[in-house]
Amino acid sequence: MHIAVLGTGMVGEAIATRLLEVGHTVVMGSRSATNEKAAAWVEKAGTGASQGAFADAIAAAELIMLATKGETGIEAIGTAPATSVVGKTIIDISNPLDFSQGMPPTLSTVNDDSFGEKLQRAFPDAHVVKTLNTMWCGLMVNPTMLAGGEHTVFMSGNDADAKTQARGILTQFGWPEDSILDLGDITTARGTEMLLPLWLRIYGALGIGAFNIRVVKP
Amino acid sequence: MHIAVLGTGMVGEAIATRLLEVGHTVVMGSRSATNEKAAAWVEKAGTGASQGAFADAIAAAELIMLATKGETGIEAIGTAPATSVVGKTIIDISNPLDFSQGMPPTLSTVNDDSFGEKLQRAFPDAHVVKTLNTMWCGLMVNPTMLAGGEHTVFMSGNDADAKTQARGILTQFGWPEDSILDLGDITTARGTEMLLPLWLRIYGALGIGAFNIRVVKP
């Protein structure tokens, strides 16, 4: 599949690199067609990797993975013509973290709304699936490096086919079927985005980011 | 130890009953000295159980466990003379859940503050420890009923001795040492209170409340 990864940060790079590894072609999208970090990644990643401005990356892609900072993803996707995202799945890995008041960050959207819902409202003809946003990027793409993958990745979204697509990618990344927990529609993204403040405190207590939570049930 | 459990709901009753089982005496506090639910519990629980108005329960107790609804705990404790709580540990199990907009509830304090912090600010001479607020009450008091207790209970608070006291009670309830995660000072209660929206969605997806999360680390 040809996939656009939007965002050139640590998360975007980890996702893009892993997508290539499991057999996809990837265009890394950023504000400009000549972004230096994207260019460096393309050179390092080799065959199957390319870069482009957000709009071009989106237009060319069959599926979009959003790894931009904070709430900038709406603006990023908004640079593409609305027709570019019709019927496409947008896997939203981003979190509405607000660092403007210092550390630890707060959430810029919280409690009675979520960034995942805002994204779905902004692009009603796309199918947003919120997933992978609750952990360090190393675990997103290589879950079996921790406890054989026996920890939990959540999923929220309104469209069953889009969730099946997202589940397919999670499976390619190494997520065991039993570790994927479908929470329901996109409003359940409120729950996973609101895990971030706890994630940050656990990170502070443990001093490592390579942990995850597991839902333990009877 | 003589412990006041404030609140006559499902959580208060579970905590009060278990405290008796592990050898404490318990006064169940409520708005009136003749609360019917408290009276029914005292009759059922037998030796070591008593009831009283919040102020009397607090004055008599060496330690306070707060299991009131929403943010009402500040008003409840405020009915006692300020001197009644000086130097005492308040184990805060409550969550600032707001059901006024329907289900699922939102949080009435969130993001840049927490109920745990508000409680500590309201009673600066008491030592607030936030713990046990992230799970179903059956698991709070009998953690080994799930995965032998291999799931996580968080703890937040400013006072080391108060945390040692709270840890002692958790241990009596059956929590393994490795399952207790001290997150740091009381501001970390923002993290655990903000888990509730995710808890509610997991509950919705699984259809059972007898689950918990476990922090899985390398």
What amino acid is encoded at B205 in this protein? A
Name the residue among A146, A191, A204 with its Cβ closest to that of B197: A191
Can you tell me which residue has the tokens 């057999």? A23
B61 closest CA partner among B96, B92, B82, B89:
B89
Query: What's the pLDDT score for residue B165?
Result: 98
A181/B191 Cβ within 8 A: no
Q: Which site among B182, B202, B203, B211 would you substitute to test the A interface, given the most A Cβ atoms closer than 10 Å to its Cβ?
A: B202
Q: Residues of B with CB below 8 A from A203's CB?
A: none
- CA–CA gap between residue B31 and residue B26 (Å, rounded): 16
- What is the per-residue pLDDT across A155-202, written as a single tens digit (0 to 9) for each? 999 999 999 999 999 999 999 999 999 999 999 999 999 999 999 999
Query: What's the pLDDT score for residue B37?
Result: 98
| Residue B159, in any domain of the structure | yes
Can you read off the two tokens belonging to residue A131?
């997933």
Query: What's the pLDDT score for residue B193?
Result: 98
The pLDDT mean for chain B works out to 98
DSSP A103: S
The pLDDT mean for chain A works out to 98
Q: Residues of A with CB below 8 A from B101's CB?
A: 112
A147/B216 Cβ within 8 A: yes
A16 closest CA partner among A166, A212, A173:
A173
Query: What's the pLDDT score for residue A187?
Result: 98
Name the residue among B112, B192, B205 with its Cβ closest to that of A198: B192
Q: Please, what's the b/e burial string for A175-212 (b: 16 or more CB within 10 A of its CB; e: otherwise)?
A: beeebbbbbeebbbbbbbbbbbbbbbbbeebeeeeebb
Instruction: Give the residue on A whose Cα is nearest the Cα of B98.
Output: A111
Query: SS3 of A84, please?
Result: helix
B191/A218 Cβ within 8 A: no
| Residue B165, in any domain of the structure | yes
- CA–CA gap between residue A152 and residue B165 (Å, rounded): 32
| Residue B215, in any domain of the structure | no
ipTM: 0.97
| Residue B8, in any domain of the structure | yes
Instruction: Give the residue on A whose Cα is nearest the Cα of B185.
Output: A201
Query: Closest Cα of chain A to B191: distance in Å?
Result: 4
Interface of A with B (CB under 8 A): 101, 106-107, 110-112, 146-147, 150-152, 154, 181-184, 188, 190-192, 194-195, 197-202, 204-206, 208, 210-218
- CA–CA gap between residue B166 and residue B186 (Å, rounded): 14
| Residue B169, in any domain of the structure | yes
- CA–CA gap between residue A208 and residue B215 (Å, rounded): 12
Structural contact between residues A27 and A1, judged by C-beta atoms closer than 8 angstroms = no
DSSP B143: G
Q: Residues of B with CB below 8 A from A195's CB?
A: 194-195, 198
- What is the per-residue pLDDT across A66-114, written as a single tens digit (0 to 9) for each? 999 999 999 999 999 999 999 999 999 999 999 998 999 999 999 999 9
Query: What's the pLDDT score for residue A18?
Result: 98
Q: Which residues of chain B have pLDDT under 70?
A: none
Q: Residues of A with CB below 8 A from B113's CB?
A: none
CATH of the domain at B46: 3.40.50.720
> How many structural domains comprise chain B?
1
Compute the half-sphere exposure of residue A126: CA atoms within 13 Å on the CB side of its CA: 33
| Residue B214, in any domain of the structure | no
Interface of B with A (CB under 8 A): 101, 106-107, 110-112, 146-147, 150-152, 154, 181-184, 188, 190-192, 194-195, 197-202, 204-206, 208, 210-218
Beta bridge pairs of residue A107 = A97
Query: What's the pLDDT score for residue B123?
Result: 98
Query: SS3 of B46, please?
Result: coil
- CA–CA gap between residue A116 and residue A128 (Å, rounded): 7
- CA–CA gap between residue B141 and residue B119 (Å, rounded): 23
Q: Residues of B with CB below 8 A from A204's CB?
A: 183-184, 188
Query: Closest Cα of chain A to B72: distance in Å?
Result: 20
| Residue A214, in any domain of the structure | no
Query: SS3 of B164, please?
Result: helix
Structural contact between residues B6 and B54, judged by C-beta atoms closer than 8 angstroms = yes
- The sheet carrying A2-6 orders its strands as A49-53, A25-30, A2-6, A63-66, A89-92, A127-131, A153-157, A180-184
| Residue A217, in any domain of the structure | no
A148 closest CA partner among A205, A209, A212:
A212
A80 closest CA partner among A50, A60, A56:
A56
Domain span at A133: 2-206
Q: How many CB pairs under 8 A join A and B?
A: 122
Helices (H), ranges, chain A: 10-21, 36-45, 54-60, 73-78, 115-122, 137-141, 160-173, 189-193, 196-206
